[in-house]
Amino acid sequence: MNRRAPDVGHVRLETTRGVIRLEMRRAWAPHGVDRFYNLVRHGFYDQAAVFRVRAGTWAQFGINGDPKLAQLWRNRTIPDDPRVESNTRGAVAFAFKDPNGRTTQVFINLRDNSANFDKEPFVPIAKVVEGMEVADALYSEYGETAGGGIRAGKQDPVFNGGNEFLKREFPRLDYILKATIER
């Protein structure tokens, strides 16, 4: 899980709504890109719910559907990276609870959020290069109720119950069916 990511890499997210392709740039956030690259490489995001979507604002995923695996990674943090890029539409960044607290959860900016998010360590690691319309279409009617934010402290049911809990309580959520590194 410690392999160095390529300087420029591509990720294919096959979702229940269609395909989203991302371009990672290690120069933007070396710690963040290396973490994301390795999680994708090992299948961590496969079958992960897109559990927190604010229509026109962001779409968040990154809690593994298996509670044991989700708990294993819950507190494995990486240090913050200095900001190189902004949280513009299509930028992908890690969510976090505390400074130097990024773990596995990431979000896609569905609009330009730079005015607010660039004041905090939401450092972009990638950008959507194809499928932004898919990201825009991810199910958003649950809003914050299917997992809230890390800081809100409302994610315990997701970590403890995994996809079984989410599918029972929030049956309309979309999922990352498979995340792969593209060559």
- Calculate what percentage of the chain has a pLDDT beyond 70: 97
List Cβ neighbours of 43 (8 Å cut-off, separation of 6 or more).
Answer: 179
List Cβ neighbours of 143 (8 Å cut-off, separation of 6 or more).
Answer: 52, 53, 54
In this structure, which amino acid lies at residue 154? K
| pLDDT number for residue 63 | 97
Q: In order of start, what are the domains of the chain with their CATH numbers?
A: 8-182 (2.40.100.10)
pLDDT in tens, 50-100: 999 999 999 999 999 999 999 999 999 999 999 999 999 999 999 998 899
Q: How confident is the model at residue 161 (pLDDT cuts 50, 70, 90)?
A: very high
Question: Any idea which of 64-73, 124-133, 143-152 has the lowest mean pLDDT?
Answer: 143-152
Mean pLDDT, the chain, whole residue set: 95
| pLDDT number for residue 147 | 74
For the whole model, what pTM was predicted?
0.96
